[in-house]
């Protein structure tokens, strides 16, 4: 009874956020974009959003919290879920970013609402699409995970579409890749990345299991024609390599910015978090 009175006294309508150490690189963007205070251990009765649920440390902080709890799943953290962890997380509100993630969570009895997150200001991305007969396609990858991020598929596309160029961020060019139309930039700053992609045609995301990628978000906001393996509203998607190749060839035919998709996602990504 005393604990309940204390809980009612301490809880207010303010939201706090806890960021998993596994995605600590997002902390600055989270703070700037969402303008929420960081949750601390002594705030156990405050309502808190857990951004990422990757490891046991995240779960222990979740169990410590006594206020209203929400979990925003980031993508690869869903791969770590077990029936036992899902049972311990049963009292939270859950959010994920696409139907693939939602289906995976549902297998463990977690009913999640699909809601995409974007940690930059959508209004900072102006229309920058320019028709071209030589489209430039860009991707991001992580070193050591090139296959997961689709490098073998990119190499095949580069061969099938020799008049296209493929710009890859996050990795240096592997020694065994000599394709003349594949360019690797390594790790660049967020500002440099945003400046580079203004000049390109399509953001491409090849991951089979993934959250809502910034590559897709930024490309559609700029009125380009992004392509994703995972389906999203107003964004081209594919299931087979043949479908992907067909979508890629359509890039040459686009003469106007993708304004319907851009306006839809600009509004959607400006909505409240939870």
Domains, the chain, with CATH or none: 2-114 (no CATH), 122-268 (3.40.50.2000)
- Of the chain, the percentage scoring pLDDT greater than 90 comes to 83
- Give 139's strand partners: 168
- Of the chain, the percentage scoring pLDDT greater than 70 comes to 93
Tell me if 11 sits within 8 A of 45, measured CB to CB.
Answer: yes
CA 243 from centroid of its chain's CA atoms: 23
Mean pLDDT estimate for the chain: 91
Residue 264: pLDDT band by 50, 70, 90 thresholds?
Answer: very high
Q: Which is nearest to 224 in space by CA: 216, 213, 214, 212?
A: 216
Angle made by CA atoms 81, 35, 9, in degrees to the nearest 5 = 80
Predicted local confidence at residue 182, as pLDDT: 94
Q: How far apart are CA 15 and CA 117, in angstroms?
A: 17
pLDDT digits (tens, 9 = 90+) for 132-158: 999 999 999 999 999 999 999 999 999
Tell me if 128 sits within 8 A of 201, measured CB to CB.
Answer: no
pLDDT digits (tens, 9 = 90+) for 74-102: 988 999 899 999 999 999 999 999 999 99
Structure tokens, 179: 């394709």
SS3 40: coil
Predicted local confidence at residue 11, as pLDDT: 37
**pTM value surpassing 0.85:** yes
pLDDT (mean) for 112-130: 94
pLDDT (mean) for 38-52: 93
Q: In what order do the strands lie in the sheet with 69-72?
A: 37-38, 16-19, 48-51, 69-72, 93-96, 112-114
């Amino acid at each position: 009874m005393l604990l309940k009175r204390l809980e009612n006294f301490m809880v207010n309508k303010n939201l706090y956020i806890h960021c998993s150490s596994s995605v600590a690189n997002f902390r600055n963007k989270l703070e700037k974009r969402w303008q929420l205070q960081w949750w601390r251990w002594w705030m156990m009765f405050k309502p808190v959003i857990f951004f990422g649920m990757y490891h046991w440390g995240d779960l222990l902080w979740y169990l410590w919290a006594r206020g209203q709890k929400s979990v925003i799943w980031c993508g690869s953290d869903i791969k770590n879920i077990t029936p036992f962890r899902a049972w311990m997380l049963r009292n939270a509100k859950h959010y994920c970013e696409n139907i693939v993630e939602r289906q995976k969570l549902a297998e463990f009895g977690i009913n999640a609402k699909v809601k995409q997150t974007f940690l930059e200001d959508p209004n900072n991305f102006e229309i920058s699409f320019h028709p071209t007969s030589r489209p430039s396609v860009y991707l991001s990858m992580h070193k050591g995970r090139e296959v997961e991020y689709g490098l073998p598929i990119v190499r095949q596309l580069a061969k099938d579409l020799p008049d296209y160029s493929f710009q890859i961020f996050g990795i240096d060019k592997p020694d065994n890749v000599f394709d003349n139309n594949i360019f690797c930039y390594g790790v660049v700053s967020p500002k440099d990345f945003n400046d580079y992609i203004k000049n390109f045609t399509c953001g491409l995301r090849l991951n089979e299991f993934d959250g809502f990628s910034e590559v897709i978000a930024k490309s559609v906001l700029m009125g380009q024609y992004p392509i994703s393996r995972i389906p999203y509203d107003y964004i081209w998607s594919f299931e087979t390599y043949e479908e992907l190749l067909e979508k890629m060839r359509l890039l040459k035919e686009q003469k106007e910015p993708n304004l319907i998709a851009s306006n839809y996602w600009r509004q959607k990504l400006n909505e409240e978090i939870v």
